Structure 1
Amino acid sequence: MALYVAAAAVLEGVENRQGSIKGLVYGRRFQNVKQLYALVCETQRYSVVLDAVIASAGLLRAEKKLRPHLAKVLVYELLLGRGFRGSGGRWKPLVARHQARLKAELARLKVHRSVSRNEDLLELASRPGPALQVPRFVRVNTLKTCSDDAIDYFKRQGFSYQGRASSLEDLRTLKGKHFLLDPLLPELLVFPAQTDLHEHPLYQAGHLILQDKASCLPAMLLAPPPGSHVIDACAAPGNKTSHVAALLKNQGKIFAFDLDAKRLASMATLLARAGVSCCELAEKDFLAVSPSDQRYRQVQYILLDPSCSGSGMLTRQLEEPGACAPSKKRLHALAGFQQRALCHALTFSSLQRLVYSTCSLCQEENEDVVRNALQNSAGTFRLVPVLPSWPHRGLGTFPGAEYCLRASPETTLTGGFFIAVLERKEVSSSASHTEAPGPELTASPTPKRKKKRRKLVAGASTLPGT
């Protein structure tokens, strides 16, 4: 019963704009986070349908002690979900005695709308779309293992390895227990969209990071060599930070900043699980970090992934209805902060390379911010052309904008994303590894060495499938 009460509380919080589904779910510290998150998302997805059925059946009029959000969760479970889990508590018999009427109203609604399936009742904006076609990307954490060992482990578990993908179509047609190696990132495995690895022992041990491909590009394009000093300006939740640490091989220093104490605490847990030892976390606004501070005099690389509208996130429309079309007022405020953060980052005296990224589709947060920052830098920095074969480029709003990258479910089979790589002009173009001829996979400027095979987990024979 605690599951349904928690789900109702999260739904009410979302409706009152107290936060996103994910933030509210994790804030409740419920024991089975995955189960709670799935229940809330599915209930929210069918919200309009459930409201109609509950109103037509007169459930809340008949049961005055039943709160609306709890009623919605219970009716979802009864009509559209898996049925009540466990005893269902005192609310199960209360709703169950209205079961016949509720089912009749659901059937009547289908007839009225000339549909036969529950899914067909969904509003157009809530129907499964391109998000369901995006594969499950899994980054192998090279601080703890290597791709070859991870692949061998999955093969022992009954998965069929199909080799390195040669096209997006290879990723799009993945089914069942087949998986591939991504054609661009050498540590990225690709599984069918429905693959759930949250309970997998390699994920729980920090050997795998569940991270969308577009989200892996910023660290890959920053490509700091081992021993570098790096700033991750807006670091939480930490996936990109752990990727930077893997590229550094834990040699060097990452200064990671974030203002949200809860997100920073979760990030610390993630980094510890991933085996990151070169990162210094600080609960601090990046804009308050002084470029003249001696601690940052060796910082040559900055990763800036600031707060944004999230309009490219696959789950955002579900979590925050209308987020795909943020208001002009909100966009103006976000772009103002992003502009200040990027201009501030470019004032660090030793900075040589910066990657600016957002999970937004909005020009105001992307091309406009980069263009203004370049103008304000008085010609000190330039955009670097990267990944020339990437199919989705920046909007042509200013000369060179095509050097930026965009991503979307339709064009790249990833979440929506924007990336720009800026470099100090005195850096010789011959030193820019992303411009050098040759395969795009060689993102790191350091010579590629043969990876040493390592055991996946200490005492790996105790894990399932070994």
Structure 2
Amino acid sequence: MTPAARISAAIEVLADIEARRRPATEALKDWGLSHRFAGSKDRAAIASLVYDALRRKASATWVMGENTSRSVVLGMLRLQRGLGVEAIAALCSGERFAPEPLSADERERLEKADLSGAPAHVAGDFPDWIEPSLQGLFGGDLVAEMQALATRAPLDLRVNTLKVSSREEAHDALPHLGAVETPLSPLGLRIAPSEDGRGPAVQSEPEFLKGWIEIQDEGSQLVALLSGAKPGEQVVDLCAGGGGKTLALAAMMENHGQIYATDNDSRRLAPIHDRLARAGVRNVQVRTPRAKADAVTDLDGKMDCVLVDAPCTGVGTWRRNPDAKWRLRPGSLETRRKEQELVLDRAARLVKPGGRIVYITCSILAEENDEALSTFMERHDGFKPVPADKALEAAQLGHLKNLVRPTAHGLQLTPHRTGTDGFYAAILVRNP
């Protein structure tokens, strides 16, 4: 396919996403199935165009003056990819499979493309209704923070110390991937996003198959380290899902002690078994709920640490899922809040006196973070948050002190400040 034909395809896919209000992955998959002549490079290039357009949907609409799939793509080419007007006009020739030529108005708008004076939600490309929550956290950094959340994310890897002696050893085994050491996590390797948005097939690498590395954002690595899980402890990963943080905790604990991994949705636990085996983990019991019955009732009041990787809106992952921000609705936030209440109440019953709850979200919304913990502590006496600086020092992460945003009860990581996805973490200690 020609570059112009790829632009036309991206416009078509975006129109489908808008009309049917569905995830970009589904629309792209259907487009590929109905256009089997398109090769893998073509499909990857089209996906990259679609995701970049979704990243800049609000600002592209502002520049072009209308919210159509064509306008969003044209505005993105100018704002995100930095193409000049003539370069965009050359792609829109109207020839076979190419978009229609630029109108006089489109050309003028592209020439004058400027976000000066644009509202914060336009300049930062996010839904306007969440601005009050974000303003309270970011203040004058709001636009810069949200622009960082609209960029492409790198591919981060966590080195598994149960299988390899050091990060350097894993790094030296993967020179062809162009990985570099992550700046903040002592266990991470980072692969920069390619120009077309495609990443290497890490999961087919021998080192991945041997369990040396796992795919995990640096921010996720850091909040796992913040848990302070130690060899010999009794730990519950209450929302274990596919097991990413379970694996990180097991390595921290050096396979000593016990981790109980569970999730109220048994389907989410399906991948964890193969991952545990590949990683050489021996101190994890997977507790799969049956008929929605509680799988960890026998552990109440016995746990040193309860990890709550809470269900949330996922706002902090918008670099990877830019379409999700335009599907977010106030009702979705309220649903997540109710789920967070339930899982925090369950954690309170599990933790022993003197033990701790480690509460984590991949969100930057105060409603899901500090506010969720404030209402929890109103319902449950005897829990106190650990100040962010003390939590960082205890986890040997003092180098993050001037990078994270301390909050009332925890700390916030963001792409702008830490180069990670947007993660919130807080530690609540139960009175002895």
TM-score w.r.t. length of structure 1:
0.61
CA deviations on 1:341-399 (whole Å, 9 max, x unpaired) are 11221122526122101011111100011112223221244435322624333444xxx
CA deviations on 1:391-442 (whole Å, 9 max, x unpaired) are 333444xxxx3xx11011111111111100111233xxxxxxxxxxxxxxxx
Structure 2 CA distance for aligned equivalents of residues 35 and 283 of structure 1: 41
Amino acid at match of 1:418: Y
The one of 345, 348, 351 aligned to 2:347: 345
Look up the match of 2:70: 52
Is contact 1:258-1:264 (8 Å) kept? yes
Amino acid at match of 1:336: K
Structure showing greater radius of gyration is: 1
Number of aligned positions between the proteins: 353
Tell me, yes or no, if structure 1 residue 143 matches structure 2 residue 162: yes
Is contact 2:266-2:289 (8 Å) kept? no
Following superposition, the deviation at residue 220 of structure 1 comes to 0.8
Would the alpha carbon gap of residues 198 and 108 (structure 1) be closer, same or farther in structure 2, given more than 3 Å must change? farther
Structure 1 CA distance for aligned equivalents of residues 41 and 263 of structure 2: 25
Structure 2 CA distance for aligned equivalents of residues 22 and 342 of structure 1: 32
Is contact 2:351-2:430 (8 Å) kept? no
Structure 2 CA distance for aligned equivalents of residues 27 and 243 of structure 1: 35
Is contact 2:14-2:50 (8 Å) kept? no
CA deviations on 1:171-210 (whole Å, 9 max, x unpaired) are xxxxxx4723534x32223444449343343234431122
- Secondary structure at the aligned position of 1:255 is classed as strand
- Secondary structure at the aligned position of 1:235 is classed as coil
Look up the match of 2:271: 266
Residue pairs, 1:86-165, within 5 angstroms: 99-100=95-96, 102-105=98-101, 111-115=107-111, 129-131=147-149, 132=151, 135-145=154-164, 146-154=166-174, 157=175
Look up the match of 1:196: 199
Would the alpha carbon gap of residues 220 and 283 (structure 1) be closer, same or farther in structure 2, given more than 3 Å must change? same
- Secondary structure at the aligned position of 2:214 is classed as strand
Look up the match of 1:253: 258
Is contact 1:233-1:304 (8 Å) kept? yes
Look up the match of 1:210: 215
Structure 2 CA distance for aligned equivalents of residues 26 and 275 of structure 1: 34
Question: Alignment identity in percent?
Answer: 24
Structure 2 CA distance for aligned equivalents of residues 13 and 35 of structure 1: 19
Query: Unaligned stretches of 5+ in structure 2?
Result: 2-8, 34-38, 61-67, 73-86, 114-121, 127-145, 393-397
Is contact 1:25-1:33 (8 Å) kept? no
Amino acid at match of 1:228: E
CA deviations on 1:9-58 (whole Å, 9 max, x unpaired) are 9995786455x445898999x9x99996774453354478984389xxxx
TM-score w.r.t. length of structure 2:
0.65
Look up the match of 1:430: none
Structure 2 CA distance for aligned equivalents of residues 354 and 417 of structure 1: 16
Structure 1 CA distance for aligned equivalents of residues 29 and 264 of structure 2: 18
Residue pairs, 1:313-462, within 5 angstroms: 313-315=317-319, 318-323=322-327, 326-348=328-350, 350=352, 352-384=355-387, 385-387=390-392, 389-396=401-408, 401=409, 404-426=410-432
Following superposition, the deviation at residue 260 of structure 1 comes to 3.7
- Secondary structure at the aligned position of 1:113 is classed as helix
- Secondary structure at the aligned position of 1:289 is classed as coil
Structure 2 CA distance for aligned equivalents of residues 221 and 34 of structure 1: 40
Would the alpha carbon gap of residues 196 and 203 (structure 1) be closer, same or farther in structure 2, given more than 3 Å must change? farther
Would the alpha carbon gap of residues 370 and 286 (structure 1) be closer, same or farther in structure 2, given more than 3 Å must change? farther
Structure 2 CA distance for aligned equivalents of residues 356 and 124 of structure 1: 31
Structure 2 CA distance for aligned equivalents of residues 392 and 33 of structure 1: 39
Is contact 1:53-1:102 (8 Å) kept? no
Structure 2 CA distance for aligned equivalents of residues 305 and 13 of structure 1: 29
Following superposition, the deviation at residue 239 of structure 1 comes to 1.3
Structure 2 CA distance for aligned equivalents of residues 223 and 23 of structure 1: 39
CA deviations on 1:47-101 (whole Å, 9 max, x unpaired) are 78984389xxxxxxxxxxxxxxxxxxxxxxxx99xx9xxxxxxxxxxxxxx7437
CA root-mean-square deviation = 4.7
